[in-house]
Amino acid sequence: MNEKFKNKIIIAGPCSAESEQQLDEVLEGLQEVDLYAFRAGVWKPRTRPNGFEGKGAKALDWIANIEKKFQCPAISEVATCEHVENILQRGLSKVWIGARTTSNPFAVQEIADALQGNQEIEVFVKNPINPDINLWRGAVERIENAGIQKIGLIHRGFSVVGHHSYRNVPIWKIPLDMMAVFPTYPMLVDPSHIAGKSDLLPEIIQKAMDLAFNGMMIETHPNPDEALSDPEQQITPQKLIAILSNTTIRQEDSSAAEESLESLRFQMDQVDEDLLEHVRQRMDLAQKIAQYKKLHNITIYQKERWEEIRKTRTQIAQKMNLSESFIRPYLDALHQESIRQQTEIMNPKSEQGAARDY
C-alpha cells in the first residue's frame, strides 16, 4: 500500500485531540501507513455554543509527545493569532486554516500577520464554507503575501442549500480550478467533512485520486462511536488501512502538460452543464419576449429578426471554426424550441398545434 501511495500526502488523525492515549492509539494503528503528518484539532470551531470545543492548549503537550515518540509531524487548526502563537511556541511545523476561517478575510489576515515571514511553517488552506473560488484564492494570497512558502490546499466540500447525501457537497470544478491557479501547491481532499458519515468515504477518496489530487486529510479515531466530535464520520485506523488498500491509484500522464482522461471528461461534463444552463437562460429570455409580444399583440415569428440571428450567429460560429452544416440545424433547433415555449405563453390552448406546425 505504501508503494501505491508513495507520491501522495496522507494526513490522518482524530477530529480532535482528546487525550495522549487516544493519539497514541491512532498512531500505533497507522504504523504501516507512511503518514505525512497526523492531524489533531485542539480548538474546535463548533457551529453552536456548548458543544465540545476542544481540549485547548494543554492538548499541544500530548501532540508534542506523540510527534517525538512516532517521529511524525503534527498538524492542527488555527483560527486566531493566539492559536498561532501557541502553536509556534510548541514548535508545531504545520497548521491548517478551517473552512469557517477561510470564509472570513479579516481572520485570515490576522493569521497571516501572526505568521509573517515564517519560513518553517507549512499552511494548508481549506476551501471556504460557500462555493466562492475567490474567497479561497484570496485566503491563499494573504498567506503568500505574508512570505509563507509552504502552502497546501484542502477541498472539504461546500455548505449548499437543498437536500443531498453529503455533509458538505464536493464541487470538484472549484479545486480543479484552484490547481490551475496554484499549480505548485498540493491539493488534498478531506473526505471526512465532505461525507459526514463513514460509508461515503471510499467513493470520495477514489474520485479525488482519479482527479489527480495529491492526497488526503482524513479523520481517524480509535473508537469513533465514543468520539467527542464528529463521531459519524470518523473511522478506525484499521478501517482507513482497508479503504486505502481498496483505492486504485491510476497513473497520471507522464508529460506534465497533458491532462488525465478523467480530468478532461470531467471538464467536458462541466462545459455541457454550462451549455444547457445557457440554453435555459435563452429560453427564459424567449419567454419574457413572449410576454411582451402578447401584451402588444405582436406575432411570435418575425422574419427579419430570425434572419439576422441566423446570419450573425453563423458568422461568429465560423470564426470559432464551427462548420455551417453543424451550426444551421443547431440554430434551427434552438429557434423551434423558443417558438414552442413562446407559443405556450401566447396561446396556451393551441400550443400543440402551433408547435407541430412550425
β pairing state of 9-13 and 74-77:
unpaired
Question: Using CB under 6 A, which residues numbered 267 to 296 contact ligand PEP?
Answer: none
Nearest approach in angstroms of CB 212 to ligand PEP is 21
Measured from the CB atom, the residue of 129 and 327 that comes closer to ligand PEP is 129
Q: Which amino acid is at 235?
A: I
3-class DSSP assignment, residue 117: coil
- Residues sharing a CB contact under 8 Å with residue 247, sequence separation 6 or more, in sequence order: 4, 202, 205, 206, 209
Does residue 99 touch ligand PEP according to CB under 6 A?
yes
Nearest approach in angstroms of CB 81 to Mn ion is 22
From the list ligand PEP, Mn ion, none, partner contacted by residue 126 (C-beta under 5 to 8 A by kind): ligand PEP
From the list Mn ion, ligand PEP, none, partner contacted by residue 99 (C-beta under 5 to 8 A by kind): ligand PEP
Does residue 94 touch ligand PEP according to CB under 6 A?
no
**Residue 331 to residue 336: CA distance in whole angstroms:** 9
Angle between helices 59-70 and 20-29 (to 10 degrees): 30
Give yes or no for a contact between 201 and 235, defined as CB atoms under 8 angstroms apart: yes
According to CB under 6 A, which one of 13, 29, 98, 128 is a site residue for ligand PEP? 98
- Cβ atoms within 10 Å of 335's Cβ, excluding its own: 16
According to CB under 6 A, which one of 45, 73, 131, 202 is a site residue for ligand PEP? 45
**Residue 110 to residue 97: CA distance in whole angstroms:** 12
Measured from the CB atom, the residue of 159 and 206 that comes closer to ligand PEP is 159
Measured from the CB atom, the residue of 164 and 319 that comes closer to ligand PEP is 164
Measured from the CB atom, the residue of 96 and 182 that comes closer to Mn ion is 96
DSSP string, 251-303: PPPSSTTSPPHHHHHHHHHHHHHHHHHHHHHHHHHHHHHHHHHHHHT--S--H
Any idea what DSSP says for residue 158? Answer: B
Does residue 193 touch ligand PEP according to CB under 6 A?
yes
Does residue 155 touch ligand PEP according to CB under 6 A?
no
Measured from the CB atom, the residue of 8 and 193 that comes closer to ligand PEP is 193
Does residue 42 touch ligand PEP according to CB under 6 A?
no
Report the interface residues with ligand PEP, using CB under 6 A.
15, 41, 45, 98-100, 126, 156, 190, 193
